[in-house]
Chains A and B, each alone.
Chain A
Amino acid sequence: MTRLTNTVNVIVPVGALGTGVRASNLEEGLALGADAIACDAGSTDSGPAYLATAQPKYSRDAVKADLRLLMLAQAKARIPLLIGSCGTSGADAALDWTRDIAIEIAREEGLSPRIALLYSEQRPADMAAAAAAGAITPLAPMTTVDPAMFAACDHIVALMGPEPYVAAIEAGADIVLGGRTTDTAVLAAIPLMKGADVGSAWHAAKIAECGGLCTRNPREGGVLIRIGTEAFEIEPLDAANVCDPYSASSHMLYENSDPFHLVEPGGILDVTEARYRAVDDRVVQVRGSRFDPRPYTMKLEGAAGGPFQTIMLVGIQDPKVLGEIDRFLAQMQEMMTARIYAVLGKAIGDFNISLRAYGWNAVSGTTVAPPATPPREVGLLFVATARTQDLATLIAKTCNPLFFHMPLDREMELPSYGFPFSPAEIERGRVFEFKLNHVIRVDDPMALVRTVMIESAEFADAQG
């Protein structure tokens, strides 16, 4: 099969910054002729806490190690480095956290890149006003646009498309660190800027969004995408790894509710007609990807802190208890609830006690059909949820004797289940909740984005 020529090539070294960039991958990618290095540094996938608190998921050292390799490759090859969804959530504070790491690396390595920072966090009051003005619509399964939902968020981010990245590069940035961005937009930006085929750019970006996950051996590093004028190619950076039509096309299924369509800020990627062919034993070529422009929308993600939890754990080996575990759990739930009201009264307000038997049905939460029986040991997790940490702990301490000693039947001797910790109760902190599943219509892709350009050397001096 004929290889594509005059392509725009992007190194995607890793699925998420901080999970382990390989220096050898970057050398291989640069040797193949790369026009940019791009990757993503965030997602909602790890849960609402990271957005609600704007705290990153990965360690500072892990992110710094990866970013150092990327910045050195950028400086050596003098090609743009684009990183989206910085600091997991892409909230302003998470982007600043990433910026400070980049400045530190620049100082340590004697680099002086021009860095563009793209902020896309939104003020809850502004979004509540936009909701009231009718600019926001819900995405299924949500059906409502209540301005109060927006006002209740601790942090809201709008997912950027490629336009702010293109504008930053055109304005002379060497490195672009973005707030929350669609996974695909950050990879598609340079190919789109350089006039590559639009459908191919978006499709290649979707296939490569998780780095090597579209290859046969996802643990063997990242990929290079080459976008041409009517098709694209994808190949693993590691010479021993393989990308084939099956591994590449399967990635359209991944974390995607629809395998043929992907909604992006300015349109919809449609891969219904896309055809995947093996170029050789490790490179795949794809044709027929389409991008249908639509009015520009940005997805909104919002999260907030909710009530607090205190947990306890016991291990149970007693075969009599395990033999009637459903009766045991129902009885414990009932006795704990009664005990809470007896001791603490109605003043306790809303609370929740959740008993989860690991080894039995903790993950599913459903009734186990016979003839299944529990294993030799079951771990029983107690979770109290209440409006303050003190109340949750009060509930846990009040339930402690039952959790420790409740017999299967009243006339039995008092058993003692196996606590692994002292103190038995663990203050787990807040429950965090995703509040939004909406899109906002904007006339201009830059309307909700604030770009700040910094000269890393001067910035470091100013910071002292």
Chain B
Amino acid sequence: MPRVNEICRYIRSKNAGPFWITVDLFFKDRSSFDLYSRSEALSAGRLAGIFGVPEDSVKWFAVPDLNVVKFSYPRTAPQGGMIERDMHGGQQFARLLEIVA
């Protein structure tokens, strides 16, 4: 099975305000979107585990018109605090690249 970074055209993460990070996975085509959007590997529960947040705090969306899976999760500390490693949340997508459906 291909990895996420092989079947996505583009994957990005970014702040959605100071308290949330949102991640967009743009799949190359409908068949890979269909496969991965229904896969346990990209379920809210699995993603919550990867980012260390409670499952019920994850907002998860399929956007079929764009072949996109989008999810958002709360930051463990608000943006810009004492131990900020990624001010804009722009590097958090990298944890997803090796996922296999």
Contacts and interface: CB of A to CB of B under 8 A. Distances in A.
A434 B59 CA distance: 22
A253 interface: yes
A447 interface: no
Interface stretch (A16-24, A41-49, A71-79): A41-49
Contact of B14 (A141, A254, A364, A385): A254
Contact of A253 (B68, B91, B94, B95): B68
A439 to B, nearest CB: 12
Nearest to B81: A433
B11 to A, nearest CB: 12
A433 B70 contact: no
Interface stretch (A3-11, A218-226, A257-265): A257-265
Interface in A348-403: 352, 354, 356, 362-365, 383, 385
B57 to A, nearest CB: 6
Contact of A363 (B61, B65, B72, B86): B86
A45 B15 CA distance: 7
A434 B78 contact: yes
Nearest to B74: A141
B18 A352 contact: no
B88 interface: yes
B1 interface: no
Interface string B68-101: 1010101100111111111110010011000000
A317 interface: no
Contacts of A412: none
Contacts of A44: 17-18, 79
Contacts of B18: 44, 48, 301, 434, 437
Contacts of B87: 46-47
Contacts of B61: 258-260
Interface in A33-92: 44-49
Contacts of B95: 364
A49 B80 contact: yes
Contacts of A437: 17-19, 78
A249 B66 contact: yes
A352 B82 contact: yes
A256 interface: yes
A246 interface: yes
B94 A255 contact: no
B97 to A, nearest CB: 12
Contact of A258 (B72, B88, B94): B72
A154 B75 CA distance: 22
Interface in B6-60: 14-20, 22, 24, 26, 57, 59
A301 B79 CA distance: 13
B91 A256 contact: no
A432 interface: yes
B80 A249 contact: no
Contacts of B79: 44, 47-48, 434
B65 A257 contact: no
A142 interface: yes
Contacts of B75: 141
B17 A48 contact: no
Nearest to B19: A437
A433 B80 CA distance: 6
Top 5 nearest A-B pairs (CB, nearest first) are A141-B74, A257-B72, A257-B16, A47-B80, A48-B80
Interface of B: 14-20, 22, 24, 26, 57, 59, 61, 63, 65-66, 68, 70, 72, 74-75, 78-88, 91, 94-95
